[in-house]
């Protein structure tokens, strides 16, 4: 409860400060930080989050909150400092930080509704409306709540907006944001409790007696459970309640997003290395911040280490957060955790329905679970008393959110651990350059697992030089004879093969054979990809499609040749080459339907599939014991992208996918086809040697002052008019340069740009960028904030500027 007369509220709008409101007396009892409130804001009402009490206000009139929207806080007060840190560091409005942190089923409440005011009603009676106003008022009065959208689509009145504006000014109508009914609602279920004090004695039928016996024995049972024994229990319990035998209550239940039951497991004996690592963490004094980097080769048993550390934490009554990058991996990790920890787990990721997500969130907020496993947003789990945070596959790019609040969950995991005074373990077989640099600087302590649990060596990687096949045609050019031979051998031995290509679709660069032009997307600066399955061309940036019969937009020729290859083509080739094998494909296209990812993963595990073709979805973290062969169709795809992390990402992906081979009883083999066998990235990947990669990469980063040797903010400027975008970007850059000069920061900051982004257009929006670089994050942060407050930095119509602190994808 808040004792103060006023509260401070962060509103879910793009404003950087918070606002003060008064609380009506009858709501004071229930008001708590972490609850949502509906507050008047200008003429509208908007959602806000209570962030604390305020004792006195001076010099302005305080408005009252309209409504409290929650029965209990959605996050603990202690989490506020975390939200504030994020708001400050990522230069993002606090209200929107909180909104981004909460499950999405909660935010989409406000819709604009139009009401007729008292004055409006009086004006009708006095017949004082203008002719154009009458149909509008009538339309609104004819329904309970009239949305602005309904008004616009039903009344085809020209210049409706202007008329409405005028009417609002005359106080005839009012447009306000109104709460839409919750997209996600709480699920309630009936429970039957034993009472045993009948006021009337009922005749006991056999069924009634069964019900009474069962309820008496259990003392309380859900109606659902009762119906399993007596299917008609729903009707039978009512007279029993009335007579005083039973009482019926409704209580909130949690939807279960999980499919099948999981058998409990017994913790295995730790390997010597695992034991050493667990000890290294546990021997530290409790309740202190310790950041660790667990660098463990693929298959070295990192997950077992996490589970051991968490067992200890949970036994002490504390909470743990486990971040995992991909949904498919979450299901695997969840299974393993559930076998160990049973019902103590909540799961958070984007494949849940809004209702499921909300239920999981409530479970956490109401203290019903001890462990949260989830994708990046799980870092916001409303726990108090956190004892451990784990970030598995810490190098993974999907921890970075690329829209709205552009945060990196791996980085803020460290911040949250620091605020909660607990250890944080970042784990990976291929640590990010940034995290390893933190080990070098002794900011992180390294925990090492150098051997696989099954005692096998890491798989042998054979490089195949694709340059030798440049004059070869057909299958041999794409699935070389070396690769084909290994696949044959793998199948003959009854094992499974994983064929990796990080590009989906059938033909990735369709070209007109008459004029030689590639087939571009109308809205983006890239080529369309042929998807034979769907019988269309598709843009991988904006999703737009073209029919397969399309003529060349340049010369109208019909002859478009499907050059380039993606996973779909590889799959169809393998079908022809290995007709006896059962094939599956796992990429964004084949897994778009809910549940399809799990289905493919299950069929790999159950060995109803012999060859699986896939993109990076399949490359990461999975533990499939029967895969003995991994084939990389083309290792170089991402090597030369215009992004300083291109090499790092390529190394990580290759070493990770290689690590999927030979995790069971049989040792693994990897065939890696490449055009650049002597490139240091490919060589390091072949040895799966992270240190070798780091030692080659880090001097280059240092020389060019790239992260981790500097801090960067990327300003992403986009709009539908190229000229305006360019002009605005130039204006922003000159504001920055002015500020640098004024503060004498010339030798501490670099302003690079404005320049066109590597992908110049996406979804009809032109993209420009400016990079602000410095060794000090404080300086960059301050500079960008001053720029945003500068009067010249106001965006025009249809131009937006996104601030990306610590950008991950620079294209």
523 binds, among ligand ADP, Zn ion, none (CB under 5 to 8 A by kind): Zn ion
524 binds, among Zn ion, ligand ADP, none (CB under 5 to 8 A by kind): Zn ion
> Which of 18, 87, 271, 527: binder of ligand ADP (CB under 6 A)?
271
| Rounded CA separation 53/141 (Å) | 40
Let me know the angle formed at the C-alpha of 365 by 407 and 320, rounded to the nearest 5 degrees.
65
**176 or 328: CB nearest ligand ADP:** 328
> Which of 13, 27, 202, 270: binder of ligand ADP (CB under 6 A)?
270
Q: Does 300 bind ligand ADP (CB under 6 A)?
A: yes
CA distances from 557 to 103, 528, 554, 757 (A): 50, 17, 8, 32
Stretch that binds ligand ADP, among 296-304, 365-373, 646-654, 666-674 (CB under 6 A): 296-304
| Rounded CA separation 287/381 (Å) | 19
Stretch that binds ligand ADP, among 55-63, 264-272, 520-528, 794-802 (CB under 6 A): 264-272
Site size for ligand ADP, by CB under 6 A? 15
Cβ-based burial of 185 (10 A; exposed 0-12, middle 13-18, buried ≥19) = exposed
Looking at 501-542, which runs of residues are DSSP E strands?
A: 509-512, 529-531, 536-538
> Which of 304, 326, 356, 394: binder of ligand ADP (CB under 6 A)?
304
257 binds, among Zn ion, ligand ADP, none (CB under 5 to 8 A by kind): none
The residue written with tokens 């478009």 in the block is: 560
CB of 530 to Zn ion, least distance (A): 14
541 binds, among Zn ion, ligand ADP, none (CB under 5 to 8 A by kind): Zn ion
Q: Does 303 bind ligand ADP (CB under 6 A)?
A: yes
CB of 618 to ligand ADP, least distance (A): 14
Stretch that binds ligand ADP, among 43-51, 97-105, 153-161, 263-271 (CB under 6 A): 263-271
Q: Does 103 bind ligand ADP (CB under 6 A)?
A: no
**530 or 539: CB nearest Zn ion:** 539
CB of 555 to Zn ion, least distance (A): 4
Q: Does 519 bind Zn ion (CB under 5 A)?
A: no
**245 or 337: CB nearest ligand ADP:** 337
Q: Does 512 bind Zn ion (CB under 5 A)?
A: yes
Q: How many CB atoms lie within 10 A of CB 410?
A: 24
299 binds, among ligand ADP, Zn ion, none (CB under 5 to 8 A by kind): ligand ADP
> Which of 10, 453, 519, 661: binder of ligand ADP (CB under 6 A)?
453
| Rounded CA separation 620/615 (Å) | 10
Q: Are strands 583-586 and 611-614 parallel, antiparallel or unpaired?
A: parallel
CB of 811 to Zn ion, least distance (A): 15
Q: Does 529 bind ligand ADP (CB under 6 A)?
A: no
**274 or 437: CB nearest ligand ADP:** 274
CB of 268 to ligand ADP, least distance (A): 3
**78 or 720: CB nearest Zn ion:** 720
**549 or 606: CB nearest Zn ion:** 549
What is the SS3 assignment for 766? strand
Structure tokens of 557? Answer: 């020729």
> Which of 523, 675, 680, 709: binder of Zn ion (CB under 5 A)?
523
542 binds, among ligand ADP, Zn ion, none (CB under 5 to 8 A by kind): Zn ion
Would the CA dihedral through 364, 367, 373, 377 be positive or negative? positive
Let me know the angle formed at the C-alpha of 562 by 557 and 566, rounded to the nearest 5 degrees.
155
CB of 554 to Zn ion, least distance (A): 4
Q: Does 302 bind ligand ADP (CB under 6 A)?
A: yes
Stretch that binds ligand ADP, among 73-81, 246-254, 294-302, 769-777 (CB under 6 A): 294-302
Q: Does 434 bind ligand ADP (CB under 6 A)?
A: no
Q: Kindly report whether the peptide bond that precedes residue 708 is cis, defined as omega within 30 degrees of 0.
A: yes
Q: What is the DSSP string of 271-315?
A: PHHHHHHHHHHHTSPSS--EEEEEEE-TTS-HHHHHHHHHHHHHH
Q: Does 647 bind ligand ADP (CB under 6 A)?
A: no
CA 433 from centre of chain = 22
Q: Does 630 bind Zn ion (CB under 5 A)?
A: no
Q: How many CB atoms lie within 10 A of CB 742?
A: 9
Residue pair 631/499 in contact by the 8 Å Cβ criterion: yes
What is the SS3 assignment for 17? coil
Stretch that binds Zn ion, among 127-135, 261-269, 538-546, 641-649 (CB under 5 A): 538-546
CB of 538 to Zn ion, least distance (A): 9
Structure tokens of 811? Answer: 């294209």
Q: Does 652 bind ligand ADP (CB under 6 A)?
A: no
N-to-C CA span, the chain: 48
| Rounded CA separation 417/391 (Å) | 11
Sheet with 669-674, edge to edge strand ranges: 460-465, 669-674, 627-632, 496-500, 611-614, 583-586
Q: Does 515 bind Zn ion (CB under 5 A)?
A: yes
| Rounded CA separation 379/32 (Å) | 22
Residues in 120-159 at the binding interface with Zn ion, rule: CB under 5 A: none
Structure tokens of 113? Answer: 């509704």
Q: Does 668 bind ligand ADP (CB under 6 A)?
A: no
| Rounded CA separation 466/483 (Å) | 12
CB of 569 to ligand ADP, least distance (A): 30
Q: Does 528 bind Zn ion (CB under 5 A)?
A: no
CB of 303 to ligand ADP, least distance (A): 3
**299 or 505: CB nearest ligand ADP:** 299
Q: Does 553 bind Zn ion (CB under 5 A)?
A: no
Q: Does 333 bind ligand ADP (CB under 6 A)?
A: no
Residue pair 697/433 in contact by the 8 Å Cβ criterion: yes
CB of 545 to Zn ion, least distance (A): 9
Q: Does 589 bind ligand ADP (CB under 6 A)?
A: no
| Rounded CA separation 564/510 (Å) | 7
Residues in 207-226 at the binding interface with ligand ADP, rule: CB under 6 A: none
**271 or 638: CB nearest ligand ADP:** 271
**105 or 301: CB nearest ligand ADP:** 301
| Rounded CA separation 770/755 (Å) | 7
Q: Does 557 bind Zn ion (CB under 5 A)?
A: yes
Q: Does 764 bind Zn ion (CB under 5 A)?
A: no
Burial 459-495 (b: 16+ CB within 10 A, else e): bebebbebeebeeeeeeeebbbeebbebbeebbeeeb
Q: Does 542 bind Zn ion (CB under 5 A)?
A: yes
* 787 Cβ neighbours under 8 A, 6+ residues apart: 732, 735, 736, 739, 793
> Which of 33, 34, 301, 355: binder of ligand ADP (CB under 6 A)?
301
> Which of 133, 326, 571, 623: binder of ligand ADP (CB under 6 A)?
623
Looking at 486-614, which runs of residues are DSSP E strands?
A: 496-500, 509-512, 529-531, 536-538, 545-547, 560-563, 583-586, 611-614
Q: What are phi and psi of 684, to 5 degrees?
A: -65, -40
Beta bridge partners of 63: 21
**302 or 362: CB nearest ligand ADP:** 302
Q: Does 536 bind Zn ion (CB under 5 A)?
A: no
Interface ranges with ligand ADP (CB under 6 A): 268-271, 274, 296, 298-304, 453, 623
Interface ranges with Zn ion (CB under 5 A): 512, 514-515, 521, 523-524, 539, 541-542, 544, 552, 554-555, 557
């Amino acid at each position: 409860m808040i004792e103060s007369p006023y509260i401070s509220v962060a509103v879910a709008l793009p404003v950087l400060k918070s606002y003060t409101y008064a609380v009506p007396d009858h709501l004071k009892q229930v008001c708590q930080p972490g609850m949502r409130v509906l507050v008047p804001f200008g003429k509208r009402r908007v959602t806000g989050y209570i962030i604390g009490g305020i004792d006195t206000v001076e010099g302005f009139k305080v408005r009252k909150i309209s409504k409290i929207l929650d029965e209990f806080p959605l996050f603990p007060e202690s989490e506020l400092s975390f939200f504030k840190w994020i708001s400050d560091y990522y230069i993002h409005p606090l209200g929107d930080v909180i909104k981004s942190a909460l499950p999405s089923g909660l935010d989409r409440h406000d819709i604009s509704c139009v009401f007729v005011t008292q004055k409006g009603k009086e004006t009708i009676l006095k017949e004082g409306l203008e002719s154009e106003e009458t149909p509008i008022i009538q339309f609104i009065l004819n329904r309970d709540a009239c949305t602005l959208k309904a008004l616009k689509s039903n009344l085809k009145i020209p210049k409706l907006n202007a008329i409405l504006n005028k009417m609002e000014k005359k106080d005839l109508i009012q447009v306000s944001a109104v709460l839409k009914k919750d997209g996600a609602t709480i699920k309630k279920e009936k429970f039957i409790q034993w009472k045993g004090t009948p006021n009337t004695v009922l005749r006991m039928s056999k069924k009634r007696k069964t019900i009474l016996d069962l309820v008496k024995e259990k003392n309380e049972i859900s109606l659902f459970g009762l119906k399993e024994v007596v299917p008609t229990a729903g009707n039978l319990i009512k007279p029993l309640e009335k007579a005083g035998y039973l009482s019926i209550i409704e209580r909130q239940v949690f939807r279960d997003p999980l499919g099948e039951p999981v058998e409990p497991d017994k913790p295995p004996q730790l390997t010597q290395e695992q034991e050493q690592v667990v000890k290294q963490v546990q021997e530290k004094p409790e309740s202190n911040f310790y950041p660790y980097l667990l660098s463990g080769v693929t298959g070295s048993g990192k997950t077992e280490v996490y589970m051991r550390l968490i067992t200890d934490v949970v036994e002490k009554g504390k909470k743990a957060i486990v971040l995992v990058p991909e949904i498919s991996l979450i299901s695997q990790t969840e299974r393993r955790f559930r076998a160990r920890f049973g019902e103590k787990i909540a799961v958070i990721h984007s494949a849940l329905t809004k209702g499921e997500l909300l239920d999981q969130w409530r479970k956490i907020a109401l203290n019903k679970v001890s462990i949260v496993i989830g994708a990046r947003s799980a870092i916001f789990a409303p726990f108090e008393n956190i004892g451990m945070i784990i970030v598995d596959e810490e190098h993974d790019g999907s921890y970075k959110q690329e829209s709205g609040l552009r945060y990196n969950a791996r980085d803020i995991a460290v911040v949250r651990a620091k605020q909660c005074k607990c250890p944080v373990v970042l784990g990976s077989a291929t640590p990010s350059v940034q995290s390893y640099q933190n080990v070098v600087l002794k900011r992180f302590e390294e925990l090492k697992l150098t051997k696989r649990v099954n005692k096998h060596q890491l798989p042998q990687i054979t490089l195949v030089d694709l340059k030798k096949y440049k004059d070869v045609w057909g299958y041999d050019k794409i699935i070389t004879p070396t690769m084909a031979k290994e696949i044959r051998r793998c199948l003959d031995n009854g094992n499974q093969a994983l064929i990796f290509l990080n590009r989906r679709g059938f033909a990735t660069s369709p070209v007109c054979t008459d004029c030689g032009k590639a087939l571009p997307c109308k809205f983006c600066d890239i080529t369309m990809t042929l998807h034979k399955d769907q019988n269309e061309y598709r843009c991988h940036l904006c999703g737009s499609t073209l029919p397969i019969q399309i003529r060349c937009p340049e010369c109208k020729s019909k002859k478009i040749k499907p050059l380039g290859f993606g996973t779909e083509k590889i799959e169809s080739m393998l079908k022809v080459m290995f007709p006896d094998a059962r094939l599956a494909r796992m990429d964004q296209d084949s897994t778009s339907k809910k549940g399809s990812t799990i289905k493919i993963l299950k069929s790999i595990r159950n060995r109803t599939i012999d060859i699986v073709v896939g993109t990076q979805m399949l490359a990461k973290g999975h533990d499939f014991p029967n895969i003995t062969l991994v084939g990389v169709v083309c290792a170089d795809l991402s090597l030369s992208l215009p992004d300083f992390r291109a090499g790092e990402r390529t190394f990580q992906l290759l070493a990770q996918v290689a690590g999927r081979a030979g995790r069971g009883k049989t040792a693994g083999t990897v065939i890696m086809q490449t055009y650049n066998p002597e490139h240091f990235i490919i060589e390091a990947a072949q040895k799966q040697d992270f240190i070798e990669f780091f030692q080659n990469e880090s001097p280059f980063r240092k020389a060019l002052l790239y992260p981790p040797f500097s801090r960067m903010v990327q300003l992403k400027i986009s709009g539908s008019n190229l000229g305006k975008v360019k002009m605005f970007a130039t204006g922003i850059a000159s504001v920055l340069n002015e500020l640098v000069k004024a503060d004498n920061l010339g030798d501490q900051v670099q302003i690079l740009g404005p320049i066109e982004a590597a992908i110049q257009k996406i979804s009809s929006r032109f993209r420009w960028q400016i990079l602000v670089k410095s060794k000090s994050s404080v300086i960059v942060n301050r500079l960008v904030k001053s720029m945003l407050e500068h009067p010249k930095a106001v965006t025009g119509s249809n131009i937006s500027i996104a601030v990306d602190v610590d950008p991950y994808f620079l294209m």
